[in-house]
Amino acid sequence: MSETTEITNEILEALGIDNDYRTESLELLEKGESRYLRDLKLNLTSTLTSEHLSTKECALIGLSSAINNNNKVLTQFFTRYAEEQGATTAETAEATGCASLLASNNIFYRFRHFTQKEKYSQIPARIRMQIMMKPVTGKEFFELMSLAISAINGCEMCVNAHEDSLIKMGTTEERIFDAVRIASLVTSAGKIIF
């Protein structure tokens, strides 16, 4: 067995996937004996822990990111991981809801930002956002998940608004940075494993 096949199998085992699983992308990396497979493995592993986030928070950010990216394999993995870290069904549901709500918000506010027309800022959004009022994960953490999803979706206005809100709540920049780092790595892994 080649080293790249061993690394591929280690990645699959860590995710709880059968060793026969392959996507076209994964096959290309494995057949080409790409050193990137080792990076992929280490990057995936680094989404599970943080010096500034609890393991449950890492798992919920990973879950929300995987759902946002419509990635079935990583959604299943991060759901299991979140549950193992003590996340309740209400918390995993909230990570799911966050991804869905931010998908609409990010499109809507990106549109407002892109057009820069005052008229669009005066028209009510009419997007229901009650989940943000009393989140079961807490206001600060919901903002953190919202920021991570907004970063994935590329909404500059949303990223700035959530980051500003978090700073005003007393959230450290290291905590914010790690949330976005996890979201970026989950998104990256989802290009290979889905």
Catalytic residue numbers, as ranges: 155, 158
CA angle (44, 181, 183) in 5-degree steps: 70
The span from the CA of 107 to the CA of 37, in Å, is 33
The span from the CA of 177 to the CA of 139, in Å, is 18
The contacts of residue 74 (CB under 8 Å, 6+ apart) are 15, 62, 65, 66, 186, 189, 190, 193, 194
Hey, what are 72's tokens? 């079935």
